[in-house]
């Protein structure tokens, strides 16, 4: 018997025969229930239609009403803003560590690692974006996307674990994704403080690295006061120029010193070095843990994957590979010895400028990586829906915790390897293809897929590619890479201990 309290379904539509994931209908709500003439779509069937439902943040049509300078500097929800954010998050301090990885793996293998990681990360991000669209589509269908049925306001931020657990229907997988994400984000924030203090020590070695870590932590901690990912536009734009300048300095200094063809033909020194290099390279191309917040802040999420692809082309072709390869060929011995590439270049004015610009980049990267942690913390404290004057100060303990960890474990390079082996392997290369396979494993779910219609590749081909990526990453990245990175961490801990005053000084 139909429930009298529910609005009538459209003519010819049978609710009992509709798939739970393919409900294509509208319900016209009575005037007194929601608002005169209100129409609540149960489902949408294209990405363009889905983009009409704004995510967390100010809707695009309302942004046009704010002053032009605020739109220019503060409100960034366009594909170009996504490009800026991805480049800022993905490069950061890791370009200083990639020459060390290239020295460990050798030029041919190191180049292959970078290309493989870039291509696979683009593919898994595309899978993740498809899952996000299905997650959002279901929320709209259920009427739970906006805060209430009468408004276009959504204040809840969709996060990585929400999508992984939501689309698969497996709570344990979502909780596992949450734990991995928290550990990785904490590690990434710690890496920014460690790298910044290491860079500042290179610039002014009269103070130990621990003192510079105090300074760097106090400055980066202020980034928790930035309200949302959209408000990072000015920071990300400036960081794009500073990162590019640093990478070009590294290439120029290497060319000036002279490249060694013998170094280019040098084989890896050992198996442990190869897998340590692989773990760090995976770390360099794994930022999916914070990309859901960026995707959720976009006014046109369907364009996000293209922005990510262009960012990978820019990062790999112009930043990570040239500086890693040229630095290694110019300084093969020093590149192998030091995890921070600034230690291998002779003093110069340009080097000092590059160090300062890289510290600015690490400030922005910290803000990008700490933001998802702050959102999780807000939800835990139940202040996520509160005004900014309540939410933002509540984030300060997150910054203090990260600062403490950075002081306790100041092992630049080793931290990157650990994160690459035990966190990035899961959140970038394992969980997205696994969730995709689990979500589309049933025939009804494949038939109801609104945003993915395989043409050139069959569903079986997608599943096979995904399982290959999962198994290969488990064996090479998590298994061998994890073993090598743990050995490096234990070695550093025995040599320097916790709260080291000066690591690799």
* pLDDT attached to residue 283: 79
- Cα separation, 488 vs 280, in Å, equals 12
- Cα separation, 339 vs 280, in Å, equals 11
* pLDDT attached to residue 38: 37
Q: Are 105 and 278 in contact (CB under 8 A)?
A: yes
> Helix crossing, 396-408 with 349-381: angle to 10°?
130
Q: Are 335 and 341 in contact (CB under 8 A)?
A: yes
Beta pairing, strands 39-41 & 26-28? antiparallel
* pLDDT attached to residue 274: 87
* pLDDT attached to residue 412: 56
Q: What is the mean pLDDT of each run of 10 residues along the chain (505 residues)?
A: 37 32 33 37 63 65 62 75 86 81 91 92 92 86 71 78 91 93 89 86 83 90 89 86 90 91 84 83 82 85 89 90 92 87 89 89 90 93 88 94 86 66 86 93 72 73 93 85 74 62 57
3-state secondary structure 322-338: HHHHHHHHHCHHHHHHC
* pLDDT attached to residue 504: 58
* pLDDT attached to residue 197: 87
24: left (phi over 0), alpha (psi -120 to 50) or beta: beta
Q: How many CA atoms lie within 13 A of 32 on its CB side?
A: 2
- Cα separation, 208 vs 388, in Å, equals 37
List beta partners, residue 41.
26
* pLDDT attached to residue 134: 87
* pLDDT attached to residue 26: 35
* pLDDT attached to residue 455: 66
Closest to 324 in 3D by CA, of 224, 417, 251, 403: 251
- Cα separation, 329 vs 103, in Å, equals 9
N- to C-terminal Cα distance for the chain?
77
Class of residue 111 by CB neighbours under 10 A (exposed 0-12, middle 13-18, buried 19+): middle
Phi, psi of 435 (to 5 degrees): -65, -40
Q: Are 25 and 13 in contact (CB under 8 A)?
A: yes
Distances (CA, A) of 296 to 55, 99, 156, 290, 474: 6, 34, 10, 10, 29
DSSP label at residue 225:
G
Distances (CA, A) of 125 to 55, 67, 90, 104: 19, 34, 13, 28
């Amino acid at each position: 018997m139909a429930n009298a309290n529910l609005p009538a379904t459209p003519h010819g539509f049978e609710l009992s025969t509709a798939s739970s994931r393919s409900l294509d209908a509208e319900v016209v709500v009575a005037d007194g229930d929601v608002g005169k003439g209100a129409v609540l779509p149960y489902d949408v069937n294209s990405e363009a239609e889905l983009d009409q439902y704004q995510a967390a943040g100010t809707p695009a049509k309302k942004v046009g009403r704010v002053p032009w300078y605020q739109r220019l500097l503060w409100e960034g929800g366009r594909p170009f803003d996504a490009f800026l954010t991805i480049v800022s998050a993905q490069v950061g301090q890791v370009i200083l560590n990639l020459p060390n990885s290239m020295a460990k793996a050798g030029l041919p293998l190191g180049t292959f690692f970078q290309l493989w990681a870039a291509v696979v990360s683009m593919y898994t991000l595309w899978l993740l974006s498809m899952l996000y669209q299905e997650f959002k589509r279901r929320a709209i269908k259920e009427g739970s996307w906006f805060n209430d049925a009468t408004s276009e306001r959504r204040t809840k931020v969709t996060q990585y674990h929400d999508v992984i657990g939501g689309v698969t229907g497996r709570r344990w997988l979502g909780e596992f994704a949450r734990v991995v994400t928290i550990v990785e984000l904490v590690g990434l924030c710690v890496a920014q403080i460690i790298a910044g203090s290491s860079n500042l020590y290179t610039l002014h070695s009269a103070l130990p690295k621990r003192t510079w870590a105090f300074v760097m932590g106090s400055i980066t901690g202020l980034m928790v006061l930035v309200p949302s990912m959209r408000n990072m536009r000015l920071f990300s734009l400036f960081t794009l120029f500073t990162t590019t300048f640093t990478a070009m300095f590294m290439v120029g200094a290497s060319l000036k010193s002279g490249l060694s063809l013998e170094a280019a033909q040098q084989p890896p020194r050992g198996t442990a070095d190869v897998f340590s290099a692989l773990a760090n390279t995976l770390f360099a191309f794994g930022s999916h843990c914070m990309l859901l917040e960026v995707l959720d802040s976009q006014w046109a999420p369907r364009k996000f994957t293209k922005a990510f692809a262009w960012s990978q082309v820019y990062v790999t072709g112009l930043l990570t590979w040239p500086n890693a390869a040229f630095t290694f060929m110019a300084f093969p011995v020093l590149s192998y010895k030091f995890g921070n590439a600034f230690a291998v270049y002779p003093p110069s004015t340009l080097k000092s400028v590059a160090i300062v610009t890289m510290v600015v980049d690490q400030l922005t990267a910290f803000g990008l990586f700490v933001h998802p942690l702050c959102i999780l913390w807000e939800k835990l404290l139940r202040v996520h829906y509160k005004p900014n004057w309540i939410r933002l100060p509540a984030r300060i303990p997150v910054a203090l915790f990260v600062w403490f960890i950075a002081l306790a474990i100041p092992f630049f390079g080793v931290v990157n390897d650990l994160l690459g082996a035990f966190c990035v392997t899961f959140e970038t290369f394992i969980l997205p293809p696994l969730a995709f396979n689990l979500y589309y494993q049933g025939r009804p779910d494949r038939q109801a897929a609104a945003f993915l219609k395989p043409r050139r590749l069959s569903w079986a081909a997608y599943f096979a590619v995904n399982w290959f990526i999962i198994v290969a990453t488990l064996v090479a990245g998590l298994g061998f890479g994890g073993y090598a990175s743990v050995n490096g961490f234990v070695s550093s801990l025995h040599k320097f201990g916790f709260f080291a005053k000066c690591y690799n000084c």
